Structures are given as C-alpha cells and as structure tokens.
Amino acid sequence: MDNKFVYLFSEGNAEMKNLLGGKGANLAEMTNLGIPVPQGFTITTEACTKYYEDGEVISNVIVEQIMQALAKTEEITGKKFGDFNNPLLVSVRSGARASMPGMMDTILNLGLNDKTVEGVAKLTGNERFAYDSYRRFIQMFSDVAIDIEKRKFENILEEIKELKGVQYDTELDSEDLKKVVQRYKELFLKEMGKEFPQDPKEQLMDAVKAVFKSWNNPRAIVYRRLNDIPSSWGTAVNVQSMVFGNMGDNSGTGVAFTRDPATGEKIIFGEYLINAQGEDVVAGIRTPQPITKLEKELPECYREFMSIANRLEAHYKDMQDMEFTIEQGKLYFLQTRNGKRTAPAALKIAVNLVEEGVLTKEEALLKVEPKQLDTLLHPAFDADELKKAVPIAKGLPASPGAACGKVYFTAQDAKEKHEKGEKVVLVRLETSPEDIEGMVAAEGILTGRGGMTSHAAVVARGMGTCCVAGCGEIKIDEENKVFIANGVTYKEGDYISLDGSTGNVYGTAIKTVAPEITGYFGTFMAWADEIRKLKVRTNADTPRDAKQAIGFGAEGIGLCRTEHMFFDEARIPAVREMIVSENEEQRRKALAKLLPMQREDFIGIYEVMEYRPVTIRFLDPPLHEFLPTEEEDIQDLAKEMGISFEHLKSTIESLHEFNPMMGHRGCRLTVSYPEIAEMQTRAVIEAAIKVKKDKGYNIVPEIMIPLVGEVKELKYVKDIVVKTANEIIASEGIDLKYLVGTMIEIPRAALTADDIAKEAEFFSFGTNDLTQMTFGFSRDDAGKFLNSYYEKNIYESDPFQKLDQTGVGKLVEMAVKLGKSARENIKLGICGEHGGDPSSVEFCHNVGLNYVSCSPFRVPIARLAAAQAQIRNPR
C-alpha cells in the first residue's frame, strides 16, 4: 500500500506534529475544534524526506495525492483553481516539526493568472489590489520557486515609479501595476525562455518543490544547527485557501497573543488593521490598532475572537500566538501556535499557569527552553538604543550578554584602564592564558580568530563576560592598536559595543541594562530542583567564580583548574623557574615557592564552598604554554630569571611540540616530574585541614588526575598523592577524607574503564578532549572545515557544544558500564563544556551520571535541563 503523503486539514490533529509539522497539525486541530479555518491540506514531512531520497524529485504518488486533496479543497470551499468567477487562490507555506520562523519560503496568492486576476478584481471590486497581488505573486514565485533574482523585479518597479515621478509603491495605480505585470512577465520569458506559468496546478507543483528545497537553504541549515533540529525531519507544506481582509470595512487582519509575550501578563495582546492584508501590517504604512479596539469596530467578531482565543489557550495549555483575518464580517483563524516569549515572560507564564491550575509543575517545567534562562543572567542592550544601531561586523556569539566600552588591544592596557575606572572592551586576534587579567577587567571580549570553544570563549563563558569570538570580518592590527571594520578604522580608546548573544559588533556606545531576576525565577527553579536527580556543579577556578555559581544554584565544584592560578603575575616567575629547572632539586625549590600560594587559593575556594564538594584537577597544559615564544620576550625573561638567553631559548625549543594537544601534558607531566603532584597534593590537603580547623567545614577534596589512558599511569600518580596526603594527615593528627579520581577524556580510558575504576574513586568525563580524540580533530583547527560539513549536511551540530551521542556518547556509556562493573558506587560526573548544554545534560541523566558541571552562568540551564530529563525519563 502506498503511504499517505497528503492530509486534508480535517484529517489531522495536534498529535501529528511530526508528520504534518507544527503549523499543519495546529490547522488540523483547529479544524477539528470547529474553529473557522480557511480549508486546505498539508503535504507531510515524509513527502519531503522522500523528495530528497528520490534525488530531489516529487514522485507521482505524491503528485496524485496532492491533486486529489486539491479537488477536495475546491469542493469544500466551493472555489476552483483558475476559475474566473470564483477563483481558488492559495498560500503555500512551509511548516516544520519545530517552528523555524522566516527560515523557509512562503508563496501567497498562488492561483493568480491573467484570467483569475480579473476575477479577483471583480470579486473585491478593487482592481489595484488584484494587480498588486498578481505582480507580488509573480515576483515571489519567480524568486522562490524559479530562482530569478528579486533585484531584477525591483529594478522594473523602480523604473516605472521613476517614469511616473513617484516615490512609494502605493502611489502607483492599477494601470501602472498592469504595466508592471506586463514587464515582469517579459522578464520571466527572457530569463527562463518560457512564459510565466498560467496553469495554477503547474504553479502549485513548482511552489511545493520550492518549499521542499528551502529546507536545505543555508540559513535553514544554520538555524537548525543553532536550535538542535535534525535535517532528517524535513518540512511539511501547507496549502491553504486564501481569505482576504481587504474586502472593505467589515474586513481586516491581525495578530494576537493570549498573554503579553514581553512580560507574561495575562492580557490579550496584539494589533489589527481594518481593510488590509497581512503584508500591510508589516509594511508599516498604516498604524495598526491595538486588538482591544476591535471590540468597538466589529464587536461580533471581537467576541468570537476572544472566545476562540481563550479556548485555544485552554486547549493548548499555553500562551497562543494567533493570526486571523476577517473577510466581510467572517472571522478566520489562519494559524495558532505556542507564542515565543522573553525569558521573564516564559517564567511568569509557566508559574501562573500552575497557579491557575492549568498545568502541573512538571508540565510547566517542560514549557521553558533551558537555553532561554541564559538571557536572564546577563546585561542586555537598551532596546530603544539598539533599534537605532547598525552592526559593523558579526562574529560568533561566544558568551552571551551585552557590553559597551573603550577598545584596548593588550591585556595590560585593559587592566590599567579598568583600574582607572574606564569601561573597556578587550580586542585581540586571539587570547591566551596570559591575557587572563585583561579579560577579567573587560566588559566584553572581541577576538578575530577562534571558535565557540576557543580560549576566549571558554574563559568568557566561565566568567559570564560577554564575548564575540572569531570575528574574521574585522582586521585587527595589534601592533598599531587599531582594527578595521568595513573600511572604517577603530583606534584604541574608541567606543564599541558587543552583543554576545548574536555576535553583533557595533561601532558606537550602546547603553546596557542590568538583568532583572524576578521572583518567578526562584519559584520556577525551586520546582526544577525538587524534581531533578542529577546534581549540578560548576567549573570554577577562583573564589569569585565559585561564589557566583553558588548564587546560581551550583551544588559543588566539578572542575577547578589549577593551571589558571599558575598564570597569575605573582606566581608565573616560580612556575617558569620550575620549568627551566635542570634537575629535581631545582624543581623542588621552585615548587616550594608555589606551595603557599596554591594553598591560599584552595583555602579561598573551600571557604566559599563551605560543605560542598570540590573537585580539583592537577596541572594539565603542556609546560611551553607558560613560556614566551617571541625572541624579544625570551630575552627579557632570561634577564629577569638571571639565566642565559641561549639556555632559555633551547629549553623553550626542547618543549616545542608538533601536536601540543596530544603531547606532554596532564598526568604525563607527573610521570616525568612526580614532585609537581606532591606539591599540589600538599596544597590541597593542607588547605582542607586549615579550613577544617579554622571554620569547621568538613571539606572532602576530590583530587582529579587528568589525561589518564592506562590504569598503571593513574596508579603511579595516585600512589604519590596518597602517600603525600596520608603523611600530612597523620602528622596533623586530624581526620580528613579525600578522594582520588580521574578524568575520562582519552578514548583508551573509556575503553579500559573497568581497569581504571579499580584505582579511580570517581570519573569525570572531560568531553572536550574526549570529543577531540574521538573525532580526531582539534577544536582549535576544526573551525576551518566544519562549515563545509554543516553546509553539506554531514554534521548538523557542533560536537564541542552538543555532545555527539552516537560516537562520543557510546564511549561515555561504555565507560559508565565498565566503571560500575568494577566499582559499584563510583561517582560519575561530566566537566566538559557539554555540562551546560541541555541535550547533553539529558544524555548525562539518561546514562546515569551523578552530576554535571558547567560554567557558573550555565548552572540554571543545567538545573532546568536536568529536571526536564527526569520528567521525560524518570530514574
């Protein structure tokens, strides 16, 4: 039996979203509810998939089903395709499973031709309208379905306006528009070598094909990637008979929300225009009226509208976003859907709907997109000022929020100016750990190179600082302290503004407003915390970050990177002294200088964390990261350290690596220099003892060994840690517990996790590195080719942002199983960037991890995602 690829609206329902798309399912649902909807049919998402499988061809089966549905639609509406007296005109719109506003194509007024245009003129009594619709249809159809450049049509329109000496389209009369139509058809003939299709059925099939095709247009691919929508879903196509809101003063059109989408307040919110079509609202020539005015103008219609709106909200149990048209006093609903809303509105609506008894807490928790919470925690631009601003460039939205300040090109300058009270934006080709102080001082960070997981991006997200990364459009000249965007030069001290949520860069100062966190946030997040099973920790290296994360609900630290502390100005000399040491004795001397500083760091963190768990990762990066690379800097450092330039240079050269990511780092450093782990253990344990004695907090430090690939490697390091720790504990005569565990970030560690669990008391999945090794590409280099991969639909999302469940996830699952088989109660967490990504959090819940850890500003996202995961898949 052939599949059913086409459904009349009366044949579907809201449950069939996967097949009919969101719009189609809702049109069907409204039809079933008896709500007046212009009738039509939906071509399914499966038809779209089949279209691609068949090599971009619409198979005969589908064509036949479309023709049958069309015939029935003619029957239902009493109108006919191509009929002069009563022509059926339709809109053809895409409608995917998930809403993708503006991403795909729409064609209105399909069915118009040289004959029906006259029919419409007669029917509406408005010849100008009929010809304007026709010329728009030709233009839209040619652009969307045939791919003739829009510009060429615009040029014709301009010419005609010039000839007539007018400025606006509206100043053209029906005779002018007839000329336009004539010229358009000539253009079509010239471009395509055939006449503009007069057969509405031919028009229809071309339009359907165009919608299918638009599923893979570049902006749709990008949108899908940003919104986790698989390309395999495909789009449905809705063919709906047109109704006209411009048939006189008892006609009109409008859009409305059942609640205020900006605030969430429970009032009808929307606007309409009498005697107008949808486009006129957008065109902005006439000012639409607030929806409440309709009560006076067309009270009957208003009452019906309100009654249906309330019914729809109650039916869908959510705020609705509706489009309607009134054709000669008769109200039609063209669309309803759950309305987009701001984050504060989303929270208020969710909480209110529970209070109103409409939703359970669980249902309410599922109504809010976790990623949306992000905007609650960061500054935003003043909306009015933003409207007037035009971006000068666009980079990657690496860390959300809005920032405005004076441009500085070195960390040093940024820091100094910040200390003098200036608001600064740090602009760098790319940042390195040495820039950390400048990054802390900056309102925002802009880099010319690097991706969403570049150093700048990761650190900025950790600090909650706005960051636009990899902005290749601007040319940064660090030496001369200028950058050029669009031909304009911006110098040190000039104001710019960054939008970290869109990646936009503005060449002027735009006022920012602080985030507003309402009581609804607290209520809502408390429900999430009640329900979720997955703990949420944070990645934090400083007391400041730790404190912020606790404010956002973090329940511990899942990753405290000790190397970030090494870059501090006060300690880097000792770190460097350690690195250039020629023997253990020298190295121990240098380490002894670091010990008290590192101990102080941990004391600070423990004091903030109080009773909460803290996982501390031992030194991870390759040592050359701590040394300069430029000849001049080496010269300076040699002088500073009192060693010869040649010696220092040859040390730096000997540390050079071909692939530093796969080099001498992580626990490999400890295998070479066990004394580093001794020092770090000493700092961790002595700090815990001090805080226990001084404050009475029962700290249980979790010491995490990075980059383990083999159990003997872990055992070697663990033996050093345990010996050192136990000696200190014994000599202090105090009772202190601690754990020793490992990162699982090397594929071999996951593959041999049963062996490794014999030594490891906990696993923390380092999914950044695990992703790199499993895919075999470095996140620093992948930016160069991943775009081709997205364009060609090979990858649909950035595996560094959204955990690849097929490959990397398989390793994680394997490691969880093997780990538990060897140590039943092994503590399992994740500390890669993925710990703050909702779909990845859900995966972590499903495979049975104990916690996720993410940067402070993503903690609320993770909390909500964890609750949603528990609701969807209770454990």
Residue showing tokens 């809705």 = 238
831 is catalytic: yes
- Quick check: 187 and 214 in contact, CB under 8 A? no
455 is catalytic: yes
Which residues, including other chains, have CB under 8 Å from residue 656's CB and lie 6 or more apart? 624
Which residues, including other chains, have CB under 8 Å from residue 198's CB and lie 6 or more apart? 113, 114, 115
Give the per-residue contact string, 779-818, with a copy of itself (x = CB under 8 A; - = no). -xxx-xx--xx--xxxx--------x-xxx-xx-------
745 is in an annotated binding site: yes
Q: Does 432 bind a copy of itself (CB under 8 A)?
A: no
728-746 in b/e form (b: 16+ CB < 10 A) is: bbeeeeeebebebbbbbbb
Q: Does 769 bind a copy of itself (CB under 8 A)?
A: yes
Cα–Cα distance for residue pair 17/733, rounded to 1 Å: 66
For the residues of 363-391, what is the DSSP string, one character each? HHHHHS-GGGGHHHHS-EE-HHHHHH--E
Q: Does 649 bind a copy of itself (CB under 8 A)?
A: no
Task: Identify the CA nearest to 830 among candidates 815, 846, 850.
Answer: 850
Per CB under 8 A, the segment of 46-54, 87-95, 577-585, 772-780 that binds a copy of itself is 772-780
530 is in an annotated binding site: no
Q: Does 433 bind a copy of itself (CB under 8 A)?
A: no
Among 80, 311, 664, 820, binds a copy of itself (CB under 8 A): 664
Q: Does 55 bind a copy of itself (CB under 8 A)?
A: no
Residue 97 beta carbon to a copy of itself: minimum distance, rounded to whole angstroms: 20
Residue 869 beta carbon to a copy of itself: minimum distance, rounded to whole angstroms: 23
Tell me which DSSP letter residue 3 carries: P
823 is in an annotated binding site: no
Q: Does 662 bind a copy of itself (CB under 8 A)?
A: yes
Diameter over CA atoms, the chain: 101
Which residues, including other chains, have CB under 8 Å from residue 509's CB and lie 6 or more apart? 404, 495, 496, 497
The kind and range of the H/E element at 446 are: strand 444-447
Q: Does 751 bind a copy of itself (CB under 8 A)?
A: yes
Residue 771 beta carbon to a copy of itself: minimum distance, rounded to whole angstroms: 9
Residue 789 beta carbon to a copy of itself: minimum distance, rounded to whole angstroms: 6
Cα–Cα distance for residue pair 620/680, rounded to 1 Å: 12
Residue 430 beta carbon to a copy of itself: minimum distance, rounded to whole angstroms: 10
Which residues, including other chains, have CB under 8 Å from residue 279's CB and lie 6 or more apart? 108, 136
Among 33, 98, 572, 661, binds a copy of itself (CB under 8 A): 661
Residue 404 beta carbon to a copy of itself: minimum distance, rounded to whole angstroms: 31
Task: Identify the CA nearest to 135 among candidates 108, 159, 162, 161.
Answer: 108
Per CB under 8 A, the segment of 52-60, 341-349, 586-594, 656-664 that binds a copy of itself is 656-664
Q: Does 657 bind a copy of itself (CB under 8 A)?
A: yes
Would you say 131 or 483 has its CB closer to a copy of itself?
Answer: 483
Cα–Cα distance for residue pair 108/94, rounded to 1 Å: 12
Size of the site for a copy of itself (CB under 8 A): 49
Which residues, including other chains, have CB under 8 Å from residue 274's CB and lie 6 or more apart? 249, 251, 252, 289, 297
Would you say 512 or 681 has its CB closer to a copy of itself?
Answer: 681
Quote the tokens at residue 638: 């040699």
Q: What is the 3-state secondary structure (H, E, C) of 209-248?
A: HHHHHHCCCHHHHHHHHHCCCCHHHCEEEEEEECCCCCCC
766 is in an annotated binding site: yes
Considering only residues 509-538, where is the footprint of a copy of itself by CB under 8 A? none
Count CB neighbours of 115 within 10 A: 12
Q: Does 52 bind a copy of itself (CB under 8 A)?
A: no
Among 508, 518, 635, 752, binds a copy of itself (CB under 8 A): 752
Phi, psi of 82 (to 5 degrees): 80, 5
Cα–Cα distance for residue pair 844/838, rounded to 1 Å: 10
Among 515, 628, 660, 848, binds a copy of itself (CB under 8 A): 660
Quote the tokens at residue 141: 């159809």
- Quick check: 97 and 17 in contact, CB under 8 A? yes
**How many residues are present in the chain?**
875
Would you say 167 or 806 has its CB closer to a copy of itself?
Answer: 806
- Quick check: 24 and 92 in contact, CB under 8 A? no
Residue 349 beta carbon to a copy of itself: minimum distance, rounded to whole angstroms: 39
Q: Does 746 bind a copy of itself (CB under 8 A)?
A: yes
769 is in an annotated binding site: yes
Residue 328 CA to chain centroid, in angstroms? 44
Cα–Cα distance for residue pair 459/568, rounded to 1 Å: 15
Q: Does 753 bind a copy of itself (CB under 8 A)?
A: no
Would you say 400 or 809 has its CB closer to a copy of itself?
Answer: 809
Q: Does 777 bind a copy of itself (CB under 8 A)?
A: yes
Residue 216 beta carbon to a copy of itself: minimum distance, rounded to whole angstroms: 13
Residue 637 beta carbon to a copy of itself: minimum distance, rounded to whole angstroms: 22
Considering only residues 272-301, where is the footprint of a copy of itself by CB under 8 A? none
Q: Name the residue type at position 347.
A: L
Residue 234 beta carbon to a copy of itself: minimum distance, rounded to whole angstroms: 16
Phi, psi of 744 (to 5 degrees): -110, 100
Cα–Cα distance for residue pair 705/762, rounded to 1 Å: 10
Residue 784 beta carbon to a copy of itself: minimum distance, rounded to whole angstroms: 5
Considering only residues 698-717, where is the footprint of a copy of itself by CB under 8 A? 707, 709-710, 712-713, 716
Would you say 550 or 707 has its CB closer to a copy of itself?
Answer: 707
Catalytic residue among 831, 844, 845, 854: 831
Residue 669 beta carbon to a copy of itself: minimum distance, rounded to whole angstroms: 8
For the residues of 819-844, what is the DSSP string, one character each? HHHH-TT-EEEE-SGGGG-HHHHHHH
Quote the tokens at residue 842: 């859900």
Q: Does 843 bind a copy of itself (CB under 8 A)?
A: no
Q: Does 748 bind a copy of itself (CB under 8 A)?
A: yes
Phi, psi of 336 (to 5 degrees): -140, 145
Q: Does 658 bind a copy of itself (CB under 8 A)?
A: yes
Q: Does 229 bind a copy of itself (CB under 8 A)?
A: no
Q: Would you put residue 165 in left (φ > 0), alpha (ψ -120 to 50) or beta?
A: left
Q: Does 772 bind a copy of itself (CB under 8 A)?
A: yes
Catalytic residue among 455, 564, 624, 834: 455
Would you say 36 or 807 has its CB closer to a copy of itself?
Answer: 807
768 is in an annotated binding site: yes
601 is in an annotated binding site: no
Count CB neighbours of 199 within 10 A: 11
Give the per-residue contact string, 605-644, with a copy of itself (x = CB under 8 A; - = no). ----------------------------------------
Q: Does 759 bind a copy of itself (CB under 8 A)?
A: no
Count CB neighbours of 375 within 10 A: 16
Would you say 295 or 430 has its CB closer to a copy of itself?
Answer: 430
Tell me which DSSP letter residue 144 carries: I
- Quick check: 461 and 479 in contact, CB under 8 A? no
Residue 93 to residues 239, 251, 368: CA-CA distances in angstroms? 7, 23, 27
- Quick check: 271 and 254 in contact, CB under 8 A? yes
Would you say 168 or 658 has its CB closer to a copy of itself?
Answer: 658
Per CB under 8 A, the segment of 369-377, 517-525, 663-671, 841-849 that binds a copy of itself is 663-671
Among 52, 84, 233, 775, binds a copy of itself (CB under 8 A): 775
Give the residue ranges of the annotated binding site: 561, 617, 745, 766-769
Residues that bind a copy of itself (CB under 8 A): 657-664, 668, 671-672, 707, 709-710, 712-713, 716, 745-748, 751-752, 755, 769, 772-778, 780-782, 784-785, 788-789, 792-795, 804, 806-808, 810-811
Give the residue ranges of the annotated binding site for substrate: 561, 617, 745, 766-769
Q: Among all residues, which ones are annotated catalytic?
A: 455, 831
